[in-house]
Amino acid sequence: MTMQKIGVMQDFPNAAKRQARVAVAEASIETAQAQRQVERLKLRRATALAWLKRYFLERKISLFDDLGKENQLLVDAVRAQIASGRTQVADSVMPKQEAAQLADRRDELIRDLVKAKSGLRRYVGGEADEPLVDALPELRIDADHLRDHLHKHPELEAYSAESHKAEAELRQAQAMKKSDWGVELAYQRRDPRFGNMVSVQFTFEIPVSPATRQDPLIAAKQQELYRIDADREAMLRDHTNELESDLADYQSLTRQLERANQTALPLAQQKTDLQYASYRAGKSDLTTVLAARREVVDQRLKIIDLEAQRSAVAAQLYFAYGEDQQ
């Protein structure tokens, strides 16, 4: 009977479903932004650690350059002692052996520096080969402040975003138990015997068998929400433990560094000076002087290592908990 039909149809989901769809979309955006922040944190932290690795290797190389100059002074002192008859001619070999050992250790550091620059280049490109600043960036570590901002860690905020999305999906599933409706306006061109016709049609979508259709979906969304909340609590405990552990490391390294600078290094240097004075007076041998000198070298290297470890912990704390709040 109908020859042609032209119409417009529009569905109208219930208000709860429309609001839930909007909430799901907004929560999806929030989740994506939170994940981007997590990746940003990882990238900045990795870049900082790579920069610090290069920085402290260059510090060690600079130290060995200074030691090379000091070793030449020792060579001159040994020659003077030999000339005065206060020491054996064989002692002239020992500073050269010491210089060779220092050169070997410096070459190892040069090798490590090349690798460190390669690692840094992964994050900053060609700038990895540019000269570094002389001083370390100041990363203020305030334990109370970091504890107060623990909940703002990007990984925890990512769970909050996932929780918001799960809540919106739960509301969307619950809204499926409510009726939707639709309307259709149509123009029908029919056989001339019957005449053309304009029609309006209303439709209603009535939920059927909610116990087997909507309720299982609602239960699944509820369980997903419980899982996200439980995972967030577990991660919060992990980050709390990690924060306290890092703070303990930072405080311990700070105390060790103070002792090394204020006590251990001055004592080692004093011992070297006394042994050197005794050697020049002909009261001790060169082996004792070199042993004391190695203690100074080891102590200065230890200080650089302690500074490197403390800076790495500071970077971990700063970029994880304090960067955006300080």
Task: Name the least confident of 20-29, 173-182, 241-250.
Answer: 173-182
How much of the chain exceeds pLDDT 70, in percent? 95
- State pLDDT tens for residues 70-115: 777 777 777 777 777 666 777 778 888 888 888 899 999 999 999 9
Question: 130-154: string of b/e by CB count within 10 Å (b at 16+)?
Answer: eeeeeebeebebeeeebeebbeebb
Instruction: Establish if 193 belongs to a structural domain.
Output: no
Q: Residue 80's pLDDT is what?
A: 75
Q: Residue 322's pLDDT is what?
A: 63
- State pLDDT tens for residues 203-228: 777 776 777 778 888 899 899 999 99
Q: Residue 233's pLDDT is what?
A: 93
Q: Residue 282's pLDDT is what?
A: 76
Strand order in the sheet with 180-190: 2-12, 180-190, 197-205
Phi, psi of 204 (to 5 degrees): -130, 130
Helix (H, G, I), strand (E, B) or coil at 276: helix
CA angle 244, 247, 249 (to 5 degrees): 110
Instruction: Establish if 1 belongs to a structural domain.
Output: no
What average pLDDT is seen over the chain?
86
* Of residues 280, 294, 292, 297, the one with CA closest to residue 77: 280
How does residue 2 score in pLDDT terms, banded at 50, 70 and 90? Answer: low
5-14, 208-217, 255-264, range with greatest mean pLDDT? 255-264
Q: Residue 326's pLDDT is what?
A: 42
Instruction: Establish if 69 belongs to a structural domain.
Output: yes
Alpha helix (H) ranges present in the chain? 15-84, 93-124, 143-148, 154-175, 214-259, 265-280, 286-317
- Surface-to-core class of residue 35, CB atoms within 10 Å of its CB (0-12 exposed, 13-18 middle, 19+ buried): middle
pTM (two decimals) = 0.78
Instruction: Establish if 29 belongs to a structural domain.
Output: yes
Range of the domain at 48: 7-178+209-322
Q: Residue 180's pLDDT is what?
A: 80
Task: Name the least confident of 237-246, 255-264, 279-288, 310-319.
Answer: 279-288
Helix (H, G, I), strand (E, B) or coil at 166: helix
Instruction: Establish if 184 belongs to a structural domain.
Output: no
| More confident: 155 or 302 | 302
- State pLDDT tens for residues 138-152: 888 888 988 988 888
Q: Residue 48's pLDDT is what?
A: 92
Phi, psi of 178 (to 5 degrees): -100, 155
How does residue 134 score in pLDDT terms, banded at 50, 70 and 90? Answer: confident
Q: Residue 269 is part of a domain; what is its CATH number?
A: 1.20.1600.10
Instruction: Establish if 186 belongs to a structural domain.
Output: no
Secondary structure (DSSP) of 88-157 = -GGGGHHHHHHHHHHHHHHHHHHHHHHHHHHHHHHHHGGGGGSPPPSSPPP----HHHHHHTGGG-HHHH
Instruction: Establish if 122 belongs to a structural domain.
Output: yes
How does residue 325 score in pLDDT terms, banded at 50, 70 and 90? Answer: very low
Is a pLDDT exceeding 70 seen at residue 306?
yes
Give the count of domains, the chain. 1
- State pLDDT tens for residues 71-80: 777 777 777 7
Is a pLDDT exceeding 90 seen at residue 9?
no
Q: For 300-326, what is the mean pLDDT?
A: 85
| CA 237/CA 227 separation, integer angstroms | 15
Q: Residue 305's pLDDT is what?
A: 96
Instruction: Establish if 96 belongs to a structural domain.
Output: yes
Say if residues 150 and 325 touch (Cβ distance below 8 Å): no
